[in-house]
Structure 1
Amino acid sequence: MSTDFQHARVALGARLRELRTEAGLTVRELASLCAWAPSKVSKLENAKQTATLADLDTWARGVGQPESSTELKGRLRGLESTYRSWRRQLAAGHRGVQDAIGTQHDRTSRFQGFTASVIPGIFQTADYARSVLSRYAELHGVERDIEDGVRSRMRRQDGLYSSGKVYRVLIWEAALHVQICTTDTLTAQLDRLMSVNGLDTVSLGIIPLAAPVRIATGDDFWIHDRRLVIAESWHTEMWLDSSEDVALYSRVWDTLNAAAVYGHHAHRLIARARASLELT
């Protein structure tokens, strides 16, 4: 978990504890008023669990200060505007998540991206995107509107044919082999990747498995015009717009890029991954 995210959650927990103690309530007394187990009160105060909006309403009523709910929700929204839980986002469906990214995509002219385990969304076929979104929906237990999410993701690919956009993308070679979909779907996806590699808006680098690297590959991320970074982990999506964060991810991208191959060398790695599928 991000240190910044945890610090923000600790601050929210401290404020919840302050409200409880000001009301003269013990953990058990507040839990009883809220119809919760005492362990939930303890987890919220000690930043072991992130409150929901409903939790904050209940807490504010329980401590006899319903008006404090607005302040508490403001703290939570501030926390989640940067660190966006996948579970919470996907509870409203895939389309909302994809549309939000699409809005940033429309605002951006220059992209620098890195993916370690899947083909980037901007290059995905519909079948491959459907497989990826379905698997992650299963992981978070929120399977719904997969097709709307796929359509939203596909619409972003119009940018590949726009003279006003540039995509500088790095892919770790392992992503070419990960069978998160059927063999036929992956074969078609690799064919698609070879075709976009020739577009004048695309600069595609592949980092070979055996390449010497100065840093290990990590989470996937996209830099938008050096003003915003959208990075992903298993539990959250991070939208980082501080100059320090953007500069850090730019250095990471440059460092990874030093190990990447381009042009016919990249094409050869994609073709090799495709050929290996014929042997399975």
Structure 2
Amino acid sequence: MSTSPSDAARKAQQALGLRLRELRKDAGLSGRELAAATGWHFTRVSKIENGVQAPTDSDIRIWCAVCSAEDQVTDLIAQARVVESMYVEFKRRTRAGMKQLLQAGGDLYERTERFRIYEHNVIPGLFQTAEYATELLSFWIDFLETRNDIEAAVAARMERQALLYRGTKTFSVVLEEAAIRTQFGTPETMAGQLDRLLSVMTLPNISFGIVPMMVQRRAVGSTGFWIFDDTLVALETPTASIDVSQPQEIALYERMFEQLRQPAIYGRDARRLIIRILDELG
């Protein structure tokens, strides 16, 4: 059974409360003692620890100061902000059309210098052809029952691809072989998409790896994700986007990315695989 955005946010808030409770206990304080030290009512401490009430940034700083855990402030505040904006529902963001969703985060793309991208069943948007993007986005417009602005949405996706040609930005991409075999649209659409990959792979600022299906490996990615520098991880479910900004969690995604890229093939070997699939398309 899938978890709804509200359920996930509630569980995340409870996890934050549990971390704060552990800090209090490590400091040897009871709930009433912490309340007395902060000037709060003791029920507020209980509500925060049980995930009923969300702590503010100021609450976290005070809590950590009383518990002599100032080194935890940055991480805990980041976790609290994830709780606030962990899920941004697509339905709400696409009321004005799919273009609005695709243009979101433009500032993030502009300021990011290092992109690390893992996808297991789809070509990343930065490398899609207009035809492939049309097939993909048409499905989401229908699925989310949003306004059909497919031409504007595809144009927005194509416009963002100008980032690829800025020498100051680097892209490390790892795709599962399934991503280049999963067919959206006609064989001609897929052939054009694979030709596009062969072209962008030659850019000096792009490292493009493919993990073959029949290869020994240690890790399996459960979902695609993008790492923007070392400040944010973004991933998507069928109904929502998730932004991860907690430093400890970002570090785990970075470790996972390194595990996933180890069995990937690059350069000439990757090109051979793409060409073989093109031949299969006929």
Equivalent residue number for residue 15 of structure 1:
none
The corresponding residue for 2:7 is 6
CA distance in 1, matches of 2:244, 2:5: 11
The answer to whether structure 1 residue 150 and structure 2 residue 154 are counterparts is yes
Aligned residues: 214
Paired-residue identity, %:
37
Aligned positions of 1:1-280 closer than 5 A: 6=7, 8-9=9-10, 81-278=85-282
One-letter amino acid matched to 1:6: D
Secondary structure of the 1:130 match is helix
Q: 1:228 offset after TM fit, Å? A: 0.5
Amino acid at match of 2:130: A
SS in 2 for 1:264: helix
Q: Quote the Cα distance in structure 2 between the aligned partners of 1:160 and 1:106.
A: 11
Counterpart Cα distance in 2 of 1:180 and 1:143:
21
Amino acid at match of 2:254: S
Matches of 2:281 and 2:8, distance apart in 1? 46
Shift of 1:135: 1.2
What residue ranges of structure 2 are gaps of 5+ in the alignment?
14-80
- Structure 1 residues 78 and 251: alpha-carbon distance in aligned structure 2, compared to 1, 3 A threshold: closer
Distance in 2 (CA, whole Å) between partners of 1:184 and 1:8 is 42
Cα 1:3–1:213, aligned 2, differ >3 Å: closer, same or farther? farther
Deviation by residue 1:178-237 (Cα, 9 ceiling, x = unmatched)? 112111111001000001001001100001011222122221110001100111122211
Cα separation, partners in 2 of 1:264 and 1:239, compared to 1, 3 Å: same
Tell me the alpha carbon deviations over residues 111-151 of structure 1, each in whole angstroms, 9 at most, x when there is no partner.
Answer: 00011111111111111111111112222222521222111
> Secondary structure of 1:142's partner?
coil
- Cα distance in 1 between the residues matched to 2:3 and 2:216: 28
Unaligned runs of 5+ in 1: 13-76
Would the alpha carbon gap of residues 164 and 10 (structure 1) be closer, same or farther in structure 2, given more than 3 Å must change?
closer
Distance 1:103 1:151, change over 3 A: farther
Quick one: which amino acid aligns to residue 7 of structure 2?
Q
Contact kept? 1:102, 1:153, Cα under 8 Å? no
- Which amino acid in the other structure matches residue 107 of structure 1? R
The answer as to whether partners of 1:207 and 1:259 remain within 8 angstroms in 2 is yes
- Which residue identity is paired with 1:175? A
Q: 1: CA distance between counterparts of 2:162 and 2:12?
A: 42
Cα deviation, residue 11, structure 1: 9.3
1:91 shift after superposition: 2.5
Kept in 2: contact 1:134–1:143 (CA 8 A): no
Q: Tell me, in whole angstroms, the C-alpha distance in 1 between the residues paired with 2:149 and 2:229.
A: 30
C-alpha distance after superposition, 1:66-90 (max 9, x if no partner):
xxxxxxxxxxx98562211222222
CA 1:78/1:110 → structure 2, altered by over 3 Å: closer, same or farther? closer
Q: SS state of the match for residue 239, structure 1?
A: strand
The CA distance in 2 between the partners of 1:257 and 1:274, in whole Å, is: 23
